[in-house]
Structure 1
Amino acid sequence: MANDYLISKWRMYFKAIDAKNEGRITKEYITEDKTKFADYHHLEGTRREDMMERIEQWFDKYILQGKSGPISEQEFVDMLNDDFKADRDKFVKKMQTSFEESFEINNLDKGELLSLRGRFRNCFPGFWSGRDCI
């Protein structure tokens, strides 16, 4: 089982995703979020469709984890904790992959604004791995 520190980070992560503070994340929220992302970045045509599909796939895989209905904060924490208890190394790899994929989605210009080894990665060291939290 994950320690209290890690569970608190998962709760913080859920709250960051649940920007509306509804206490749940739904497919509708994902649709709204990916549309705002595409609008904000002025994506059009095929590029817009591809990016929206990538965002939805990421949410389905790493946040909803294949569930169709809304998930609460506790369900989110329980899903992560179950994965963590089942195989810690596999869990850490999955979360690292999650952040790498999220980085690729957000790094639209493939430029220096975001650097996987720089600022972006430094924002998240305690959420999923690291000697001090797991």
Structure 2
Amino acid sequence: MKIGMFTSVNLFIMVVWSVIDPSRPKAILMHSRVNITVMNDSKPIALCIYIVILLSIVGLPVSLIQNDNNPNVSFSVISILIITGTTSTQCNIFFPKVDALLKFLRGEKTESKSSQQATSIPRVGTTMDSIHN
């Protein structure tokens, strides 16, 4: 009952949001020419997904086996796995950003690979020709 209520409220919010502010495919920004290492989160996110899947594979059998025998052990194991997964996710995503910020504040150069021209994010409706001129 509660799940259905939350789902219907979520669906209502999404429909109202879509009507008020429809997505605009022309507003997609072209940023393929700039590669900032700190802002590229694909590898840390993949590592986080791997860790969460691994912890789930370990936690599910343990929780199913220990549930009948001793619920305290099952609760403890699940809690430790959840805390480990969330802590590793936070560390993998945010520690490189904090490190880059500290290096920036100290005046050290950060690792960033960009094109030879300085590029900025274009405004909506701006063509790529007008950006490079």
Q: TM-score range by the shorter chain?
A: under 0.3
Q: Which has the higher contact order (CA 8 A, sep 6+)?
A: 2
Higher helix share: 2
TM-score of the two chains, using structure 2 as the length reference: 0.26
